Amino acid sequence: MKLHAAGHGYDAAADADTLHRAAELNRHDPLRDGAMLRFPDYGQVVMTGDLHGHERNFSKLQRYADLGNTGARHVILHELIHADVPGDDLSHRVLVRAARWKTEFPDQVHFLQSNHELSQLTGKEICKGGRIVTFSFEAGVATTYGKRAGEVLDAVMDYIESLPVAARTANRILLSHSLPNANAWPVFDATALKRLPLFDDFNEGGPVYSMVWGRYHTPDLLDEIARAFNVDCFIVGHQPQESGYDVVHGRMIILASDHDHGVFLPFDLKKTQTVADLTRLIRPCASIA
């Protein structure tokens, strides 16, 4: 990031511009189909879990991806903000870095909507460790940018509103932050993801909200969702994983990338992949120098 000459903070105008440009690239991603990304049957996807402002793991992902030398590799990022730290939350720094990465490699860096980004957009309060993380995030932006924090927050909102909701691969894997839970699924309209989201979709009861907030999925529910999306398995985040990942009911892999045991999952888009195959491919972030 570009620092002011006086060293008092980050460049608000440059960082806001980066976020706005990333938002436009999200909206016009060649892989985008409504609220979905659809990946071809060649190349590789590197799927991450929640990052929550973890700068070291983000840097490791960038080094592993080496996008300048691997043109058929795609990286998917989600839940970049709301670090669980005392004091002001500075996770916007990872958000800006990721947005800049998108502007450098627009056809290879992709994002998905998450509940923490969505909550920042809609003002839904999330309490962690006795603090409201949406307020802490705003305080962190103010600490970094001072009187120009407002223009950066406006750009953050533009970026969040632009995010696709899920991605589907040609080898029948659905990638998303989460999935609708048992209460939301009976009224969930999967066809809504074939169009661009409306603002009401972001609020409780809407399809985007349901896609990023669900937990505690049963085997039968995962079977129903798989049939609706015409996929075989799911790779998600959202649910904390102290060991880095978990496999749920042989159908869903949950990843976390936001701590020292964080992981990511690179997989081939051409090969048929079972959950067992995918699990063997999981890489610890700590393994990257």
Tens digit of each residue's pLDDT (9 = 90 or more) over 135-183: 999 999 999 999 999 999 999 999 999 999 999 999 999 999 999 999 9
| Matching residue, tokens 């999200």 | 26
**Which pLDDT tens digit goes with each residue over 44-69?**
999 999 999 999 999 999 999 999 99
| Gap between the Cα atoms of 60 and 189, Å rounded | 37
Q: Which amino acid is residue 166, in one-letter code?
A: A
Model confidence pTM above 0.85: yes
pLDDT at 1: 32
Residue 148 and residue 118: Cα distance in Å, rounded? Answer: 23
Distance CA 18, CA 106 (A): 12
pLDDT at 86: 82
Helix (H, G, I), strand (E, B) or coil at 66: coil
State the average pLDDT for the chain. 94
> Within a 10 A sphere around the Cβ of 208, how many other Cβ atoms?
26
Residue with tokens 């909550």: 119
Banded model confidence at residue 131, pLDDT cuts 50, 70, 90: confident
Domains defined for the chain, CATH in brackets: 12-40+51-239 (3.60.21.10)
Location of structure tokens 């002011």:
4
Q: Which residues pair with 167 in a beta bridge?
A: 37, 175
What distances in angstroms separate CA 171 from CA 77, 231, 243, 251, one per listed residue? 20, 8, 27, 14
User: For 63, what's the count of Cα atoms within 13 Å in the CB-facing half-sphere?
Assistant: 11
pLDDT of amino acid 5: 29
Q: Alpha-carbon distance 138 to 224, whole Å?
A: 39
Which residue type does 87 have? G
Q: Look at residue 7 in the predicted model and tell me its pLDDT.
A: 34
| pLDDT on residue 6 | 30
pLDDT of residue 102 exceeding 50, the answer is yes
Instruction: Taking residues 124-130, report their average pLDDT.
Output: 84
Per the document, the length of the chain is 289
Strands 245-248 and 233-236: unpaired
Residues 6+ apart with CB under 8 A from 182: 216, 217, 218, 221
Give dist(CA 134, CA 122) in Å, integer.
10
pLDDT in tens, 272-282: 999 999 999 99
Contact 74, 37 (CB under 8 A): no
C-alpha–C-alpha distance, residues 147 and 8, integer Å: 12
Residue corresponding to tokens 């058929």: 72
Over residues 253-265, the mean pLDDT reads: 98
